[in-house]
Amino acid sequence: MTNSPYIKQYLMTAGPTPVPPKVSQVMAEPILYHRAPAFVPVYARVLDRLKTVFDTSNDVLCFASSGSGAMESAMVNLVHPGDKIVVTSAGKFGERWKELADAYEADYTYVDVEWGTQIDPAEVDRALSDTPGAGVVFTTLSETSTGVIHDVAAIAEIAHKHGALIVVDAVSGLGAAELHQDAWGLDVVVSGSQKALMCPPGMGFASVSQAALDKAAERPAGRYYFDWNKTAKGQRKDPPSSPFTPPVSLFMGLDVALDMIVTEALPVVYDRHRLLGRATRAAVKAHGMEIFGLDDEAASVVTAVSVPEGVDGAAVPKLMRDKYGITIAGGQSQLKGKILRIAHCGYFGPFDIITTIAGLEMAINELGGSLELGAGVAAAQRVFADAGVTVGA
């Protein structure tokens, strides 16, 4: 087959992720005025269902922004120049907290752990001991650049022992990796629309405890668009109202996507994601390839795989995309060319993994590898069969 622009496409990156057809369809409906009686219940329902996904009684504040905008909201509401904080990083998105801390001139202690490893709560404990008066710890649930899931519940416990608040980046984690904001005592959790929430990019979320809102309100200057209390005030009105024009079409889509998530039920959603991760790990290990980072049942968002010896790591995603229409990600920054990342957060099922593994096997062999075609596919099939996967009507 010659190259065709109509080759069927499979998007296996960790954001943006595929959007279910009924989410796409509702976003193509005529635009609603954001104060219209037809939009208000959509908005109210989204605000309510987001609480379910964050497992919180907080207001989940919504912004027209990328996930990084929601991250910025946490820095700009809680931290002023010279404030002492602790920033953890174990990858590209941990570094984003550091960049934000730099931009807002925080006085931060940096817990910078090796990419692919987990943040050790004991290190956070030491950092907080070394930083008397640190008011906030910034950390990450799912580090998209490595696939590692961090134990944010344990880090929260340490933060609270030192009287600090905790802020968790769950941009790629929310809805894919287990998260129980209130039970785990997470003061602030930020996320975005374009990962496991199965929507296009363009919405950022910050689920903020009353304690964090109060801390922000003490010093209201230096922010406007991302001011938490301004947005909370609007969302607490009856009916709820956004201080700025909300991205109405994205909200229409999110309403449908959240309905799918609560209908599937979160424990089932988490199980599905863990199963997709398990099958992906089994497939690559069947070829003797190594999981980068942790070979961890909790790794339900992205599976990172070390590139086999003798294969050009940057060429694999390119060939898979250009020849087979399957888009996976390579490594970022220091991991460029060294790892491959297969995402499975959001609208993914068993046969997305099987397709991806089949394409991966073919591409690696075309680039000088010598995999037994189908061996990884079979390993994934066995995981799915063992789990008794039944895709309902």
Crossing angle for the helix pair 375-386 and 266-286, nearest 10 degrees? Answer: 150
The number of C-alpha atoms within 13 Å of 277 and in the hemisphere containing its C-beta is: 27
Alpha carbons 54 and 36: distance in angstroms, whole number: 27
Strand partners, 10: 326
The 3-state secondary structure of 244-270 reads CCCCHHHHHHHHHHHHHHHHHCHHHHH
Site for a copy of itself in 210-229 (CB under 8 A): 220-227
In this structure, what are the phi and psi dihedrals at residue 254, rounded to the nearest 5 degrees? -65, -35
Listed residue (144, 130, 137, 120) closest to 192, CA to CA: 144
Q: How many CB atoms lie within 10 A of CB 296?
A: 14
Q: Binding mask 173-192 vs a copy of itself (x if CB under 8 A, - otherwise)?
A: -------------------x
Crossing angle for the helix pair 67-78 and 92-103, nearest 10 degrees? Answer: 40
Answer yes or no whether residue 72 interacts with a copy of itself by CB under 8 A.
Answer: yes
| Contacting residue, 58, 65, 131, 303, with a copy of itself by CB under 8 A | 65
Question: Of the two residues 93 and 292, which places its CB atom closer to a copy of itself in the complex?
Answer: 93
Q: Binding mask 37-56 vs a copy of itself (x if CB under 8 A, - otherwise)?
A: x-------------------
Q: Binding mask 104-123 vs a copy of itself (x if CB under 8 A, - otherwise)?
A: xx------------------
Site for a copy of itself in 190-209 (CB under 8 A): 192, 194, 200-202
Min dist. Cβ of residue 151 to a copy of itself (A): 26
Alpha carbons 242 and 231: distance in angstroms, whole number: 6
Min dist. Cβ of residue 100 to a copy of itself (A): 5
Segment interacting with a copy of itself (CB under 8 A) among 34-42, 118-126, 233-241, 285-293: 34-42
| Residue count, binding to a copy of itself (CB under 8 A) | 58
Residues that bind a copy of itself (CB under 8 A): 9, 11, 13, 15-19, 24-25, 27-34, 36-37, 63-69, 72, 75, 81, 99-100, 103-105, 192, 194, 200-202, 220-227, 244-250, 321-322, 327
